[in-house]
Amino acid sequence: MPTASRRSTSKRVVDAKLTGSEAAPAAATVADPPATDSLPQLRSAAASCRACPLWRTGTQTVFGEGGEHAALMVVGEQPGDREDMEGHPFVGPAGRLLDKALEASNVPRDEVYITNAVKHFKWEPRGKRRIHKTPAQREIEACLPWLEAELAAVEPRVILCLGATAARAVMGGKVRVTETRGQPLHSPLGKEVVITVHPAYILRLRSGMEEAFAVFVDDVGQAAKLAGLK
């Protein structure tokens, strides 16, 4: 799909969805990526994105990384504290767990493209710590054109959504992860999709972590198989 059409489609979707308590202020907008399929150019442009207020509190834009024409794209929610400081996706504890799952599925990380639905870290202070805060719908929608631009540039066969925020961005609405995880789905964005939990969810479990990780590995393996990686 041409980039110009992609942007106009996102704008219409956002206009239609932003109602009630989720309505954006008058000054709100959506991202406007340049008309290019070059990931370096997209990454450079995203660094100055001001489409939603999260740029004010995030250290930097954290754009996707990985295989430029990867068959599998992994989409998370947003950068965490570590990712925000380092400028790379999935380099904190959740990223290490994702790496273990990819390794268990015999999928090299450099053959996968990894990104987030929202490119800035949303957080709230708790003492000296910065605690994750779930992005609002308007922030997901404001960032959607960047995800669409990444999809157009990478052209993956399959998207693996990690958690509800990623699934909402890719599927175009609310999705119950527990009801859909591991099943092959089709996204309005034109890609085959597998939904699973975010690895951060597994790290927060007080019991049953090994079992939850095993199911997570199965989901990752299902996505890799659909993408032709195993």
User: For the chain, which residues make up each domain, given as ranges?
Assistant: 3-19+38-226
For residue 15, the model assigns a pLDDT of 38
How confident is the model over 101-119, as a mean pLDDT? 97
Decide: helix, strand or coil at residue 198. Answer: coil
Query: At how many degrees (to 10) do helices 137-154 and 3-17 cross?
Result: 160
Q: Which long-range contacts (CB under 8 A, 24 or more apart) does 200-208 make?
A: 200/80, 200/93, 200/94, 200/132, 200/163, 201/163, 202/97, 203/93, 203/94, 203/97
Answer whether residue 1 shows pLDDT above 70: no
Answer whether residue 7 shows pLDDT above 70: no
The residue to which tokens 């929608």 are assigned: 141
Answer whether residue 28 shows pLDDT above 80: no
Beta bridge mates, 161: 75, 195
Averaged confidence pLDDT in the chain: 90
Q: What is the CATH number of domain 3-19+38-226?
A: 3.40.470.10
Parallel, antiparallel, or unpaired: how do β-strands 72-76 and 112-116 relate? parallel
Q: How far apart are CA 166 and CA 150, in angstroms?
A: 14
Predicted model pTM: 0.87
Amino acid identity of 101? A
How confident is the model over 44-57, as a mean pLDDT? 96
DSSP letters for 37-75: --HHHHHHHHTT--SSGGGGTSSS----EE-TT-SEEEE
Q: How far apart are CA 90 and CA 99, in angstroms?
A: 9
Q: Which two tokens stand for residue 47?
A: 């660094």
CA distances from 116 to 40, 150, 202, 207, 230 (A): 16, 10, 18, 27, 24
Q: Which two tokens stand for residue 43?
A: 């990454």
- Given a contact cutoff of 8 angstroms between Cβ atoms, the answer to whether 101 and 220 are in contact is yes
For residue 230, the model assigns a pLDDT of 80
Answer whether residue 195 shows pLDDT above 80: yes
Neighbour-count burial for 39-66, b at 16+ CB within 10 Å, e otherwise: beebbebbeebebbbbbeebbbbbbbbb
